[in-house]
Amino acid sequence: MRLGKFLSKTAIMSVLAAACLGSTAMAADVIGTGTVEGDSLRVRSEASTASSIVTYLTDKTQVEVYEDLGDWYKVGWGGHTGYVSADYLVYTPAAASTSSSAPAPAAARIDGDPGVITGAGVNFRVSPSTDAQAITQLARHTDITVVEPRDDGWCQIGFGGQTGYVKSDYVSVNGIPLVDPKGIITGDCVNLRATPSTDGAIVTKLSYGETVDLVSLDDGWYSISYNGASGFVSADYLRVDDGSNPVSSIGASVVESAMKYLGTPYAYGGASGKGFDCSGFTMYIYSLHGYSLPHSATSQWNSSGVYVEKSDLQPGDLVLFNDPARNAGKACSHVGIYIGDNQFIHSSSSRSGGVIISSLGENYYSSYYKGAKRVG
């Protein structure tokens, strides 16, 4: 018998991943340590979402940090190196872990309001100054206790049994940022009502992508002000603007255009109203709005727009899939356009009826979902 028949696919992939990751990081200077937050963190060959994925790290994996690049960290583990997004790594500087002058732990109970960190790699410091020692860095979406917002741009918080300070720009309480809270309307012709109820009188209507001032959030309704008017908007149609994922300027229009071609036949290589393949459909729809996309799902993944998390999907975003049985060795096998409510429109196949609407929750699309890109 041949030994090759007994090599598992997993073992082969491990060898290939090790080769892709390259040489060991023994010569690199360690500036701190990091802990992975989230399942299947992508490790990339370069500090860019456009670079190749060389492997994945699981939740709570410990790594060494060699470079802090702002939105990215260069990390090492098991003799290998790569780059990971700062959003999903809790970074502890070497000085913080070895310094004898670290602050004494606070009492086990820290009183205050529940809050959330809204920035990536936010320094948690011993005193309200950028010159103060950093206790650690906090990843976006980290839960904290807000002890006291200050007038000097700092906020005293509690985290991990300690109290310290972070810039107020990166803190939200009850879904509202502490500093200059803004919201972005995510629906079209959204009602601004006089009271927080669907029975409330309509003050005016707000368009997709409009920026409004946030006042408070209560029971699923935001109290807002806009162009001198004030009222309430359902939380279903507003996203807090934390600067992480800008609203597409053309999303609603793209969806409107795409819906006009519902039922158009599937045609391999097609990119016109007579028939589309999957990437031909997205390419054609975006061309109607002045954007030039390549005629390939993989190329649209590699070169079009900016990457967005699944939790941040907005109408008009490209959603891409990778079924290894259908991708011919490429990065993606299929692409469509997100339309909201966990649904997307796409040119599926002749058997399925051409341009149809499907749910991201369907077993096939859930299993082979690769990611999303925002264009415009």
Assess contact for 295 and 285: CB atoms under 8 A: no
Catalytic residue among 80, 155, 332, 346: 346
**DSSP structural state of residue 303:** H
Can 141 be counted among the known catalytic residues? no
Catalytic residue among 80, 155, 278, 332: 278
Q: Who contacts 6 (Cβ-Cβ below 8 Å, separation ≥6)?
A: none
Assess contact for 213 and 226: CB atoms under 8 A: yes
**DSSP codes joined into one string, 167-215:** EGGGEEETTEESSS-EEEE-SSSEEEESSSSTTSPEEEEE-TT-EEEEE
Can 189 be counted among the known catalytic residues? no
**DSSP structural state of residue 370:** E
**Centroid of chain to Cα 211:** 20
Can 278 be counted among the known catalytic residues? yes
Cβ-count burial of 299 within 10 angstroms (0-12 exposed, 13-18 middle, 19+ buried)?
middle
Catalytic residue among 80, 155, 332, 334: 334
Assess contact for 70 and 83: CB atoms under 8 A: no
Which residues are part of the catalytic machinery? 278, 334, 346
